[in-house]
Amino acid sequence: DLTFEVLRMDNGAACGVSNTEFGPYVEFCCADVGETVQILLKATDENNNTNTCMVNVVVQDKNRPVINVPAYCYQ
């Protein structure tokens, strides 16, 4: 059995969070969109042997834009 944990290399500073320990996920925020965020991935096996690697994540906003036109624009 393998377990995986991740850690942001910038400690989450761009998002205003302090992330200094490995966990099951990392958080990304709007400030990360369009940026490359480096994370550290740690794999641990059943004998507690670990290995790490650095991964670059390119954060993209895949949500479609929404435009709300005020009613007075239709007059």
State the pLDDT confidence band at 33, using cuts at 50, 70 and 90: very high
Please tell me the distance from the alpha carbon of residue 41 to that of residue 8, in angstroms, as a whole number.
Answer: 9
C-alpha count within 13 angstroms, C-beta hemisphere, residue 58 = 3
User: Mean pLDDT throughout 34-46?
Assistant: 95
- Count other C-beta atoms under 10 Å from residue 18's C-beta: 9
Amino acid 75: pLDDT = 62
Average pLDDT value for residue range 65-74: 81
